[in-house]
A and B are shown apart, each in its own frame.
Chain A
Amino acid sequence: MKKTLLMAAAALAAGIISSQAQPVYSQNIVGYVNIPVAVGYTAMDNPLSNNGNNSATNLFDTTSGANDGSIILQWAGTHYTQVVFDSSKATGFTDVGSGSQTLTPPVLAPGTGFLFNNQGASNTFTFTGSVAVDGPGTATNVVGVTTNILSAGTVYVLPSSKIAIGGGISSVLGIKNVGGALDGSIVLIPNIINGIIRGYTQTVFDSSKATGFTDIGSGSQTLAEPVIAVGQSFLFSNQSGSDYQWIQSL
Protein backbone atom coordinates (compact mmCIF):
# COMPACT_ATOMS: atom_id res chain seq x y z
CA MET A 1 0.00 0.00 0.00
CA LYS A 2 1.69 3.10 -1.23
CA LYS A 3 1.19 6.09 1.01
CA THR A 4 2.30 9.62 0.55
CA LEU A 5 3.17 11.74 3.51
CA LEU A 6 3.44 15.38 2.74
CA MET A 7 4.15 17.58 5.67
CA ALA A 8 3.14 20.96 4.37
CA ALA A 9 4.08 23.36 7.09
CA ALA A 10 7.14 23.64 9.20
CA ALA A 11 7.44 22.82 12.83
CA LEU A 12 6.90 26.01 14.75
CA ALA A 13 8.57 26.72 18.04
CA ALA A 14 8.72 23.09 18.94
CA GLY A 15 11.19 23.34 21.71
CA ILE A 16 10.64 23.69 25.36
CA ILE A 17 10.39 27.23 26.54
CA SER A 18 12.69 27.23 29.51
CA SER A 19 11.52 30.54 30.92
CA GLN A 20 8.23 29.02 31.95
CA ALA A 21 7.79 27.27 35.24
CA GLN A 22 6.21 24.27 33.51
CA PRO A 23 7.58 22.82 30.27
CA VAL A 24 5.62 23.93 27.23
CA TYR A 25 5.69 22.07 23.96
CA SER A 26 4.20 22.86 20.61
CA GLN A 27 1.94 20.64 18.51
CA ASN A 28 2.16 22.85 15.48
CA ILE A 29 3.48 20.27 13.08
CA VAL A 30 0.67 20.37 10.59
CA GLY A 31 0.15 18.86 7.19
CA TYR A 32 -1.82 16.30 5.31
CA VAL A 33 -1.63 12.64 4.44
CA ASN A 34 -3.09 10.99 1.36
CA ILE A 35 -4.30 7.42 1.81
CA PRO A 36 -5.45 5.36 -1.18
CA VAL A 37 -8.72 3.59 -0.45
CA ALA A 38 -9.54 0.86 -2.94
CA VAL A 39 -12.99 -0.66 -3.37
CA GLY A 40 -13.78 -2.95 -0.45
CA TYR A 41 -11.79 -3.14 2.76
CA THR A 42 -8.79 -1.06 3.77
CA ALA A 43 -7.16 -1.37 7.22
CA MET A 44 -6.41 2.24 8.03
CA ASP A 45 -6.34 4.97 10.63
CA ASN A 46 -6.64 8.71 10.88
CA PRO A 47 -2.95 9.66 10.82
CA LEU A 48 -3.35 13.27 12.00
CA SER A 49 -5.27 14.91 14.78
CA ASN A 50 -7.98 17.16 13.39
CA ASN A 51 -7.62 19.93 15.98
CA GLY A 52 -8.53 17.37 18.60
CA ASN A 53 -11.93 16.76 17.02
CA ASN A 54 -11.65 13.43 15.25
CA SER A 55 -15.31 12.69 14.75
CA ALA A 56 -15.79 10.91 11.43
CA THR A 57 -18.00 13.83 10.43
CA ASN A 58 -14.89 16.02 10.40
CA LEU A 59 -12.79 13.52 8.50
CA PHE A 60 -15.10 12.30 5.76
CA ASP A 61 -17.78 13.66 3.46
CA THR A 62 -21.03 12.67 5.16
CA THR A 63 -23.40 15.05 3.40
CA SER A 64 -23.07 14.77 -0.37
CA GLY A 65 -23.94 11.08 -0.55
CA ALA A 66 -20.63 10.18 -2.17
CA ASN A 67 -19.83 7.80 0.68
CA ASP A 68 -23.36 6.45 1.20
CA GLY A 69 -23.25 2.73 1.87
CA SER A 70 -19.57 2.70 2.80
CA ILE A 71 -18.82 1.33 6.26
CA ILE A 72 -16.46 2.15 9.12
CA LEU A 73 -15.63 -0.89 11.26
CA GLN A 74 -14.07 -0.43 14.70
CA TRP A 75 -12.67 -3.18 16.84
CA ALA A 76 -14.70 -3.84 19.98
CA GLY A 77 -12.38 -6.29 21.72
CA THR A 78 -13.81 -9.45 20.24
CA HIS A 79 -15.49 -8.34 17.02
CA TYR A 80 -16.03 -5.38 14.73
CA THR A 81 -18.81 -2.84 15.17
CA GLN A 82 -20.05 -1.27 11.97
CA VAL A 83 -21.55 2.10 11.09
CA VAL A 84 -22.74 2.96 7.60
CA PHE A 85 -22.47 6.31 5.83
CA ASP A 86 -25.98 7.57 5.09
CA SER A 87 -26.39 11.20 4.09
CA SER A 88 -30.15 11.00 4.63
CA LYS A 89 -29.58 10.72 8.40
CA ALA A 90 -29.02 13.82 10.53
CA THR A 91 -25.69 12.50 11.79
CA GLY A 92 -24.60 11.08 8.45
CA PHE A 93 -24.52 7.52 9.78
CA THR A 94 -26.89 4.57 10.13
CA ASP A 95 -26.66 0.97 11.33
CA VAL A 96 -25.68 -1.91 9.10
CA GLY A 97 -28.34 -4.22 10.49
CA SER A 98 -31.44 -2.34 9.40
CA GLY A 99 -30.28 0.89 7.80
CA SER A 100 -33.04 2.65 9.74
CA GLN A 101 -31.28 3.96 12.85
CA THR A 102 -29.50 7.29 13.18
CA LEU A 103 -26.12 6.64 14.77
CA THR A 104 -23.54 8.86 16.42
CA PRO A 105 -20.49 9.35 14.19
CA PRO A 106 -17.52 7.29 15.37
CA VAL A 107 -14.46 9.04 16.78
CA LEU A 108 -11.29 8.08 14.91
CA ALA A 109 -8.33 9.35 16.89
CA PRO A 110 -4.73 8.81 15.71
CA GLY A 111 -3.38 5.54 17.06
CA THR A 112 -6.70 3.72 16.83
CA GLY A 113 -7.18 1.70 13.71
CA PHE A 114 -10.34 0.92 11.82
CA LEU A 115 -11.45 -0.85 8.66
CA PHE A 116 -13.00 1.16 5.88
CA ASN A 117 -15.29 -0.74 3.52
CA ASN A 118 -15.41 1.49 0.45
CA GLN A 119 -18.66 0.97 -1.44
CA GLY A 120 -17.88 3.69 -3.93
CA ALA A 121 -15.15 4.01 -6.51
CA SER A 122 -11.48 3.57 -5.73
CA ASN A 123 -10.46 6.78 -4.06
CA THR A 124 -7.83 8.71 -2.13
CA PHE A 125 -8.72 10.25 1.20
CA THR A 126 -6.82 13.28 2.39
CA PHE A 127 -6.44 13.72 6.13
CA THR A 128 -5.37 17.11 7.43
CA GLY A 129 -4.36 18.22 10.89
CA SER A 130 -1.53 18.12 13.39
CA VAL A 131 0.86 15.33 14.22
CA ALA A 132 -0.43 13.79 17.44
CA VAL A 133 1.78 14.58 20.42
CA ASP A 134 0.85 13.51 23.93
CA GLY A 135 3.70 15.14 25.86
CA PRO A 136 7.02 16.95 25.67
CA GLY A 137 10.14 15.27 24.43
CA THR A 138 12.54 13.90 26.97
CA ALA A 139 15.74 14.02 24.98
CA THR A 140 17.66 16.37 22.78
CA ASN A 141 16.06 17.02 19.41
CA VAL A 142 12.86 15.27 20.45
CA VAL A 143 9.81 17.45 19.97
CA GLY A 144 7.39 15.26 21.78
CA VAL A 145 6.31 11.75 22.59
CA THR A 146 3.15 9.74 22.13
CA THR A 147 1.94 6.77 24.11
CA ASN A 148 -0.39 4.12 22.75
CA ILE A 149 -1.42 1.42 25.19
CA LEU A 150 -1.68 -2.03 23.62
CA SER A 151 -3.95 -3.80 26.05
CA ALA A 152 -3.40 -7.36 27.18
CA GLY A 153 -6.97 -7.48 28.38
CA THR A 154 -8.37 -8.61 25.06
CA VAL A 155 -6.99 -11.17 22.65
CA TYR A 156 -6.66 -8.55 19.94
CA VAL A 157 -6.41 -4.79 19.68
CA LEU A 158 -6.48 -2.76 16.47
CA PRO A 159 -3.85 -0.05 16.81
CA SER A 160 -1.93 2.12 14.41
CA SER A 161 1.02 4.45 14.70
CA LYS A 162 -0.03 7.63 16.49
CA ILE A 163 2.59 9.49 14.51
CA ALA A 164 2.14 9.62 10.75
CA ILE A 165 5.08 7.43 9.82
CA GLY A 166 5.47 4.05 8.19
CA GLY A 167 8.08 1.30 8.28
CA GLY A 168 9.23 -1.69 10.28
CA ILE A 169 7.00 -2.32 13.24
CA SER A 170 9.93 -2.37 15.67
CA SER A 171 12.74 -0.57 13.86
CA VAL A 172 10.68 2.42 12.75
CA LEU A 173 7.35 2.40 14.53
CA GLY A 174 8.89 1.54 17.86
CA ILE A 175 7.11 -1.54 19.20
CA LYS A 176 10.27 -2.85 20.89
CA ASN A 177 10.62 -6.36 22.21
CA VAL A 178 12.92 -5.44 25.09
CA GLY A 179 14.30 -8.50 26.83
CA GLY A 180 11.85 -10.71 24.94
CA ALA A 181 8.92 -9.24 26.86
CA LEU A 182 6.75 -9.37 23.74
CA ASP A 183 7.78 -12.89 22.71
CA GLY A 184 4.72 -14.71 21.46
CA SER A 185 2.84 -11.52 20.68
CA ILE A 186 1.33 -11.50 17.21
CA VAL A 187 0.99 -8.92 14.46
CA LEU A 188 -1.94 -9.66 12.13
CA ILE A 189 -2.16 -7.88 8.81
CA PRO A 190 -5.35 -8.56 6.85
CA ASN A 191 -5.01 -10.26 3.49
CA ILE A 192 -7.30 -8.14 1.37
CA ILE A 193 -7.93 -9.72 -2.00
CA ASN A 194 -10.25 -7.93 -4.43
CA GLY A 195 -11.50 -5.85 -1.53
CA ILE A 196 -12.41 -8.82 0.68
CA ILE A 197 -10.62 -9.90 3.86
CA ARG A 198 -9.35 -13.44 3.31
CA GLY A 199 -7.73 -14.11 6.65
CA TYR A 200 -4.61 -12.53 8.09
CA THR A 201 -0.86 -12.78 7.70
CA GLN A 202 0.38 -13.49 11.22
CA THR A 203 3.89 -12.77 12.42
CA VAL A 204 5.05 -13.61 15.92
CA PHE A 205 7.57 -11.70 18.02
CA ASP A 206 10.47 -14.04 18.86
CA SER A 207 13.64 -12.58 20.32
CA SER A 208 15.51 -15.81 19.62
CA LYS A 209 15.34 -15.22 15.87
CA ALA A 210 17.82 -13.03 14.04
CA THR A 211 15.06 -10.78 12.71
CA GLY A 212 13.08 -10.90 15.93
CA PHE A 213 10.12 -12.60 14.27
CA THR A 214 8.86 -16.10 13.56
CA ASP A 215 5.85 -17.82 12.03
CA ILE A 216 2.73 -18.75 13.94
CA GLY A 217 2.41 -22.20 12.41
CA SER A 218 5.60 -23.83 13.63
CA GLY A 219 7.53 -21.12 15.45
CA SER A 220 10.61 -22.39 13.67
CA GLN A 221 10.96 -20.03 10.75
CA THR A 222 12.76 -16.72 10.78
CA LEU A 223 10.48 -14.13 9.24
CA ALA A 224 11.07 -10.58 8.11
CA GLU A 225 9.95 -7.73 10.32
CA PRO A 226 6.37 -6.69 9.47
CA VAL A 227 6.18 -3.35 7.70
CA ILE A 228 3.27 -1.03 8.40
CA ALA A 229 2.58 1.81 5.97
CA VAL A 230 1.57 5.34 6.89
CA GLY A 231 -2.09 5.36 7.80
CA GLN A 232 -2.29 1.57 8.04
CA SER A 233 -3.68 -0.33 11.00
CA PHE A 234 -3.17 -3.92 12.12
CA LEU A 235 -4.45 -6.34 14.70
CA PHE A 236 -2.07 -6.98 17.57
CA SER A 237 -2.27 -9.76 20.14
CA ASN A 238 -0.34 -8.75 23.24
CA GLN A 239 0.93 -11.94 24.86
CA SER A 240 3.21 -10.24 27.38
CA GLY A 241 0.76 -10.57 30.23
CA SER A 242 0.49 -6.85 30.82
CA ASP A 243 -0.43 -3.77 28.85
CA TYR A 244 2.34 -2.59 26.54
CA GLN A 245 3.22 1.10 26.51
CA TRP A 246 3.96 1.87 22.86
CA ILE A 247 5.94 5.08 23.12
CA GLN A 248 6.96 6.95 20.00
CA SER A 249 9.21 9.99 19.81
CA LEU A 250 8.94 12.77 17.32
Chain B
Amino acid sequence: MKKYIIATTALLVVATSAFSQGLVYFSAGSSVATRMSTNSVVGGPSTGLTGTTPGLYYYALFASASQANVNGNTTAISGLNANYVFNNLGSGVPSTGWELVGIGTNNASSGRMQPASQGTTSAGQSIPNADLSLNVQGIAGAGSANIVAVGWYSPGIGPDLASLQTWYGAGAFNGWIGQSVVGNVVLGDGGTIPSPNVFGTGPGQLGGFMMGLTIVPEPTTLALAAFGGASLLLFRRKK
Protein backbone atom coordinates (compact mmCIF):
# COMPACT_ATOMS: atom_id res chain seq x y z
CA MET B 1 0.00 0.00 0.00
CA LYS B 2 2.81 2.38 0.92
CA LYS B 3 4.57 1.71 -2.37
CA TYR B 4 1.34 2.31 -4.22
CA ILE B 5 0.89 5.69 -2.56
CA ILE B 6 4.49 6.69 -3.31
CA ALA B 7 4.17 5.60 -6.91
CA THR B 8 0.89 7.45 -7.32
CA THR B 9 2.37 10.58 -5.79
CA ALA B 10 5.38 10.36 -8.08
CA LEU B 11 3.12 9.97 -11.11
CA LEU B 12 1.09 12.97 -10.04
CA VAL B 13 4.24 15.08 -9.69
CA VAL B 14 5.44 14.03 -13.14
CA ALA B 15 2.01 14.63 -14.63
CA THR B 16 1.75 18.04 -13.01
CA SER B 17 5.16 19.14 -14.24
CA ALA B 18 4.48 17.78 -17.69
CA PHE B 19 1.30 19.83 -18.08
CA SER B 20 2.45 22.97 -16.32
CA GLN B 21 3.43 25.90 -18.44
CA GLY B 22 4.52 29.45 -17.91
CA LEU B 23 4.60 32.32 -20.36
CA VAL B 24 7.31 34.51 -21.89
CA TYR B 25 7.60 37.07 -24.65
CA PHE B 26 10.31 36.55 -27.26
CA SER B 27 10.95 39.85 -29.05
CA ALA B 28 14.04 42.02 -29.16
CA GLY B 29 15.12 45.44 -30.27
CA SER B 30 12.91 48.03 -28.59
CA SER B 31 16.00 49.08 -26.66
CA VAL B 32 19.38 49.33 -28.34
CA ALA B 33 20.94 46.88 -25.90
CA THR B 34 18.74 44.05 -27.16
CA ARG B 35 19.44 44.40 -30.89
CA MET B 36 21.14 41.67 -32.93
CA SER B 37 24.32 42.08 -34.95
CA THR B 38 26.74 40.18 -37.19
CA ASN B 39 30.42 40.35 -38.04
CA SER B 40 32.25 40.26 -41.37
CA VAL B 41 35.27 38.09 -40.73
CA VAL B 42 35.70 34.88 -38.80
CA GLY B 43 36.34 35.76 -35.16
CA GLY B 44 35.97 39.47 -35.86
CA PRO B 45 33.96 42.06 -33.98
CA SER B 46 30.42 43.13 -34.75
CA THR B 47 30.18 45.20 -37.90
CA GLY B 48 26.51 46.10 -37.84
CA LEU B 49 22.97 45.19 -36.97
CA THR B 50 20.96 42.57 -38.80
CA GLY B 51 19.25 43.97 -41.88
CA THR B 52 15.74 45.09 -42.68
CA THR B 53 14.67 42.23 -44.94
CA PRO B 54 12.31 40.12 -42.82
CA GLY B 55 12.86 36.40 -42.55
CA LEU B 56 16.61 36.26 -43.11
CA TYR B 57 17.59 35.57 -39.52
CA TYR B 58 16.01 33.00 -37.24
CA TYR B 59 16.19 32.56 -33.50
CA ALA B 60 15.44 29.59 -31.25
CA LEU B 61 14.58 30.00 -27.58
CA PHE B 62 15.35 27.25 -25.06
CA ALA B 63 14.37 26.92 -21.40
CA SER B 64 15.40 24.76 -18.50
CA ALA B 65 14.40 24.45 -14.89
CA SER B 66 17.57 22.59 -14.01
CA GLN B 67 20.42 23.76 -16.25
CA ALA B 68 22.05 27.12 -15.42
CA ASN B 69 24.68 26.82 -18.14
CA VAL B 70 25.26 25.18 -21.51
CA ASN B 71 28.12 22.72 -21.37
CA GLY B 72 29.56 24.78 -18.53
CA ASN B 73 29.27 28.07 -20.39
CA THR B 74 27.02 31.03 -19.51
CA THR B 75 28.41 33.76 -21.76
CA ALA B 76 27.47 34.76 -25.29
CA ILE B 77 29.26 32.90 -28.08
CA SER B 78 29.42 33.14 -31.86
CA GLY B 79 30.86 31.29 -34.85
CA LEU B 80 32.08 27.76 -34.34
CA ASN B 81 31.83 26.74 -30.70
CA ALA B 82 31.29 23.57 -28.69
CA ASN B 83 28.75 25.18 -26.38
CA TYR B 84 25.66 25.69 -28.52
CA VAL B 85 22.56 24.61 -26.69
CA PHE B 86 21.17 22.58 -29.62
CA ASN B 87 24.21 20.31 -29.28
CA ASN B 88 23.86 20.13 -25.49
CA LEU B 89 20.15 19.58 -24.89
CA GLY B 90 20.65 16.80 -22.35
CA SER B 91 17.35 15.03 -21.83
CA GLY B 92 15.52 17.69 -23.84
CA VAL B 93 13.02 18.35 -21.06
CA PRO B 94 13.22 21.28 -18.61
CA SER B 95 13.49 19.16 -15.48
CA THR B 96 16.83 17.67 -16.53
CA GLY B 97 17.90 19.43 -19.72
CA TRP B 98 17.12 22.17 -22.23
CA GLU B 99 13.85 22.28 -24.15
CA LEU B 100 12.91 24.24 -27.25
CA VAL B 101 10.29 26.93 -26.53
CA GLY B 102 9.80 28.52 -29.92
CA ILE B 103 11.28 30.14 -33.01
CA GLY B 104 11.55 33.82 -33.90
CA THR B 105 12.69 35.77 -36.93
CA ASN B 106 13.91 39.23 -37.78
CA ASN B 107 11.41 41.86 -38.88
CA ALA B 108 11.70 44.98 -41.02
CA SER B 109 13.48 46.99 -38.36
CA SER B 110 17.23 46.67 -38.19
CA GLY B 111 18.49 44.50 -35.35
CA ARG B 112 15.05 43.44 -34.21
CA MET B 113 13.23 40.13 -34.05
CA GLN B 114 9.83 38.75 -33.06
CA PRO B 115 8.32 35.32 -32.45
CA ALA B 116 7.18 33.17 -35.35
CA SER B 117 6.09 29.91 -33.74
CA GLN B 118 6.14 27.87 -30.56
CA GLY B 119 6.59 24.21 -29.72
CA THR B 120 9.04 21.85 -28.11
CA THR B 121 10.17 20.14 -31.31
CA SER B 122 11.44 21.44 -34.63
CA ALA B 123 8.65 19.74 -36.55
CA GLY B 124 5.94 20.43 -33.99
CA GLN B 125 5.74 24.20 -34.22
CA SER B 126 2.43 26.10 -33.99
CA ILE B 127 1.48 29.75 -33.94
CA PRO B 128 2.27 31.84 -30.85
CA ASN B 129 -0.48 32.79 -28.40
CA ALA B 130 -2.84 35.61 -29.33
CA ASP B 131 -0.75 38.17 -27.46
CA LEU B 132 2.38 36.71 -29.12
CA SER B 133 3.60 35.21 -25.86
CA LEU B 134 5.04 31.69 -25.92
CA ASN B 135 4.28 28.74 -23.66
CA VAL B 136 7.20 27.28 -21.75
CA GLN B 137 6.15 23.67 -21.40
CA GLY B 138 7.05 21.90 -18.18
CA ILE B 139 7.69 24.98 -16.03
CA ALA B 140 4.69 26.52 -14.34
CA GLY B 141 3.80 30.19 -14.27
CA ALA B 142 5.61 32.05 -11.46
CA GLY B 143 8.32 29.40 -11.76
CA SER B 144 11.95 30.19 -12.43
CA ALA B 145 13.30 29.34 -15.88
CA ASN B 146 16.83 29.48 -17.21
CA ILE B 147 16.81 30.70 -20.78
CA VAL B 148 19.15 30.91 -23.75
CA ALA B 149 18.62 31.91 -27.38
CA VAL B 150 20.45 30.92 -30.57
CA GLY B 151 20.36 33.00 -33.76
CA TRP B 152 21.47 32.22 -37.31
CA TYR B 153 21.44 33.58 -40.84
CA SER B 154 19.03 31.28 -42.60
CA PRO B 155 19.99 31.36 -46.33
CA GLY B 156 21.90 28.18 -46.97
CA ILE B 157 20.84 26.77 -43.61
CA GLY B 158 17.07 26.87 -43.20
CA PRO B 159 14.48 28.40 -40.89
CA ASP B 160 14.03 25.61 -38.36
CA LEU B 161 16.04 23.97 -35.63
CA ALA B 162 16.45 20.66 -37.45
CA SER B 163 18.03 22.33 -40.48
CA LEU B 164 20.33 24.32 -38.21
CA GLN B 165 21.48 21.15 -36.48
CA THR B 166 22.03 19.44 -39.84
CA TRP B 167 24.05 22.36 -41.22
CA TYR B 168 26.16 22.63 -38.09
CA GLY B 169 26.74 18.87 -37.99
CA ALA B 170 27.94 18.95 -41.61
CA GLY B 171 30.71 21.41 -40.84
CA ALA B 172 28.89 24.73 -40.55
CA PHE B 173 30.38 26.26 -43.67
CA ASN B 174 29.61 29.81 -44.77
CA GLY B 175 27.05 30.92 -42.22
CA TRP B 176 26.47 33.19 -39.28
CA ILE B 177 25.49 31.82 -35.89
CA GLY B 178 25.53 33.06 -32.30
CA GLN B 179 24.12 32.39 -28.88
CA SER B 180 23.04 34.69 -26.05
CA VAL B 181 24.17 34.61 -22.47
CA VAL B 182 22.28 32.21 -20.23
CA GLY B 183 19.62 34.15 -18.35
CA ASN B 184 16.90 33.52 -15.84
CA VAL B 185 13.35 34.86 -15.65
CA VAL B 186 10.23 34.27 -13.59
CA LEU B 187 7.60 33.00 -16.00
CA GLY B 188 4.25 34.71 -16.30
CA ASP B 189 1.16 32.87 -15.14
CA GLY B 190 -1.39 34.70 -17.25
CA GLY B 191 -2.64 36.40 -14.08
CA THR B 192 -0.97 38.41 -11.38
CA ILE B 193 2.57 37.42 -12.34
CA PRO B 194 3.32 39.32 -15.57
CA SER B 195 4.92 37.55 -18.50
CA PRO B 196 8.51 38.73 -18.96
CA ASN B 197 10.26 39.42 -22.21
CA VAL B 198 13.33 37.20 -22.35
CA PHE B 199 15.23 40.11 -23.91
CA GLY B 200 15.92 43.22 -21.88
CA THR B 201 18.41 44.87 -19.61
CA GLY B 202 16.82 43.86 -16.32
CA PRO B 203 18.05 41.16 -13.96
CA GLY B 204 18.29 37.79 -15.71
CA GLN B 205 17.18 39.04 -19.11
CA LEU B 206 19.11 38.39 -22.32
CA GLY B 207 20.85 41.17 -24.19
CA GLY B 208 21.19 41.32 -27.94
CA PHE B 209 24.02 39.18 -29.26
CA MET B 210 26.27 38.84 -32.29
CA MET B 211 26.06 36.11 -34.87
CA GLY B 212 29.56 35.30 -36.05
CA LEU B 213 30.78 34.02 -39.39
CA THR B 214 31.79 30.37 -39.30
CA ILE B 215 34.15 28.68 -41.71
CA VAL B 216 34.98 30.22 -45.07
CA PRO B 217 36.77 27.97 -47.57
CA GLU B 218 40.43 28.91 -47.97
CA PRO B 219 41.56 30.84 -51.08
CA THR B 220 43.30 27.77 -52.49
CA THR B 221 40.03 25.86 -52.28
CA LEU B 222 38.22 28.68 -54.04
CA ALA B 223 40.94 28.82 -56.69
CA LEU B 224 40.66 25.10 -57.31
CA ALA B 225 36.90 25.43 -57.67
CA ALA B 226 37.32 28.28 -60.14
CA PHE B 227 39.90 26.31 -62.09
CA GLY B 228 37.60 23.33 -62.25
CA GLY B 229 34.70 25.45 -63.46
CA ALA B 230 36.82 27.08 -66.14
CA SER B 231 38.04 23.67 -67.32
CA LEU B 232 34.50 22.45 -67.70
CA LEU B 233 33.58 25.48 -69.78
CA LEU B 234 36.59 25.01 -72.04
CA PHE B 235 35.79 21.33 -72.41
CA ARG B 236 32.20 22.12 -73.39
CA ARG B 237 33.29 24.70 -76.03
CA LYS B 238 35.70 22.22 -77.68
CA LYS B 239 32.89 19.71 -78.05
Contact = CB atoms under 8 A, between A and B. Distances in A.
B194 A195 contact: no
Would you list the 5 A-B pairs with minimal beta carbon distance, nearest first?
Answer: A97-B132, A69-B31, A98-B114, A99-B27, A80-B194
Contacts of A82: 25, 194-195
A198 interface: yes
Contact of B194 (A39, A73, A120, A199): A73
A120 B197 CA distance: 15
Interface string A176-204: 00000000000010000011111110000
Contacts of B193: 197, 199
Nearest to A93: B30
B218 interface: no
Nearest to A115: B194
A98 B132 contact: yes
A64 to B, nearest CB: 12
Contact of B31 (A40, A79, A119): A119
B108 interface: yes
B108 A156 contact: no
B115 A98 contact: yes
Interface stretch (A22-30, A83-91, A206-214): A83-91
A88 B200 contact: no
A188 B30 contact: no
Max chain B C-beta neighbours (<10 A), residue from A71, A88, A115, A195: A71
A39 B202 contact: yes
A99 B191 CA distance: 22
B114 A96 contact: no
B114 A99 contact: yes
Given A82-B25, A98-B107, A119-B200, 7 more contacts: A69-B33, A71-B197, A97-B132, A99-B112, A196-B185, A199-B193, A200-B192
A120 B201 CA distance: 7
Contact of B112 (A65, A96, A100, A120): A100
Contacts of A117: 194, 200, 202
B115 A195 contact: no
Nearest to B107: A100
B190 interface: yes
24 contacts: A39-B202, A69-B201, A79-B192, A84-B30, A85-B30, A96-B25, A96-B27, A97-B133, A98-B27, A98-B107, A98-B114, A98-B115, A99-B27, A99-B107, A117-B200, A195-B202, A195-B203, A196-B185, A196-B204, A197-B186, A198-B186, A199-B193, A200-B192, A235-B192
Given A39-B203, A97-B128, A68 B32 contact: yes
A145 B155 CA distance: 65
A78 B31 CA distance: 28
Nearest to B199: A69
Interface in B64-114: 107-109, 112, 114
A116 to B, nearest CB: 11
Most chain A beta carbons < 10 A, residue from B186, B192, B204: B192
A85 B114 CA distance: 16
Contacts of A195: 202-203
